[in-house]
């Protein structure tokens, strides 16, 4: 990886805002980050699917027919205007480092969505901006809210998501809705 100069200024978020995010609470789990993403985008009337599956072709080294032939993304945001964003959540530097060593893990989602983001807690922002390749967006999460720190480069012509994948996504959204209903009963 090329060494990039340290970022003096955060592109879309001030240092004061970043401090506020630290004050709001640093998420310790993927679930806390997902909850923040889901809350923010639901408020904007967008759909957020957890652990969205994509892919029918075997991943290198996977046995055909195994779950490894499918790539999952932590959050798939579906916008009313037809755009879709893939968001991979990383709450530790170690987990993010491992992910960045294997760019093929995110390639399928980058190909099929309009934008790809990493969602991370505030303490990782500076390191992430220096190490996540240009073109990939960075979203900071508190345990209550999210904010885009660096916008993703738009994929203006993403590949179509297969019908079978849309069926699985619809099932996950339905399951999430059913679980929410059970908790209120």
Residue 121: count of CB within 10 angstroms of its CB: 25
Residue 70 · residue 57 · CB < 8 Å: no
Give the span between the Cα atoms of 47 and 174, in whole angstroms: 12
Query: Is pTM, for the whole model, over 0.85?
Result: no
DSSP helix, strand, coil percent of the chain (3-state; round to 5): 40, 20, 40
pLDDT at residue 8, as a whole number: 41
pLDDT at residue 5, as a whole number: 41
Tokens of 111: 């190909």
Measured CA to CA in angstroms, residue 161 lies from 55, 85, 89, 157, 182 at distances of 9, 12, 21, 12, 30
Residue-by-residue pLDDT tens, the chain, 185 positions:
444 444 444 456 566 565 655 556 788 899 999 999 999 998 888 989 998 888 755 444 445 545 456 788 999 999 999 999 999 999 999 999 999 999 988 898 999 999 999 999 988 999 999 999 999 999 999 878 899 999 999 999 999 988 888 888 888 777 766 666 555 55
Give the span between the Cα atoms of 51 and 31, in whole angstroms: 11
Could you tell me which of 84, 54, 90, 72 has the C-alpha nearest to residue 152?
84
pLDDT at residue 140, as a whole number: 93
Residue 140 · residue 149 · CB < 8 Å: yes
Long-range contacts of 53-57 (CB under 8 A, 24+ apart): 53/165, 53/168, 53/169, 53/172, 54/108, 54/109, 54/112, 54/161, 54/165, 55/108, 55/165, 56/162, 56/164, 56/165
pLDDT at residue 92, as a whole number: 94
């Amino acid at each position: 990886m090329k060494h990039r100069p340290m970022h003096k200024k955060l592109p879309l978020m001030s240092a004061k805002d970043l401090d506020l995010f630290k004050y709001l609470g640093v998420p310790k789990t993927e679930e806390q980050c997902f909850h923040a993403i889901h809350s923010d985008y639901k408020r904007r009337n967008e759909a957020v699917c957890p652990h969205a599956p994509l892919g029918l072709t075997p991943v290198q080294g996977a046995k055909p027919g195994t779950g490894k032939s499918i790539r999952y993304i932590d959050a798939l945001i579906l916008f009313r205007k037809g755009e879709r964003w893939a968001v991979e959540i990383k709450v530790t530097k170690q987990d993010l480092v491992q992910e960045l060593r294997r760019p093929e893990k995110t390639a399928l989602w980058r190909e099929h969505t309009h934008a790809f983001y990493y969602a991370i807690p505030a303490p990782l922002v500076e390191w992430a901006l220096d190490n996540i390749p240009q073109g990939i967006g960075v979203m900071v999460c508190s345990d209550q809210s999210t904010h885009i720190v660096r916008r993703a480069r738009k994929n203006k012509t993403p590949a179509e998501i297969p019908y079978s994948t849309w069926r699985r996504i619809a099932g996950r959204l339905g399951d999430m809705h059913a679980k929410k209903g059970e908790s209120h009963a």
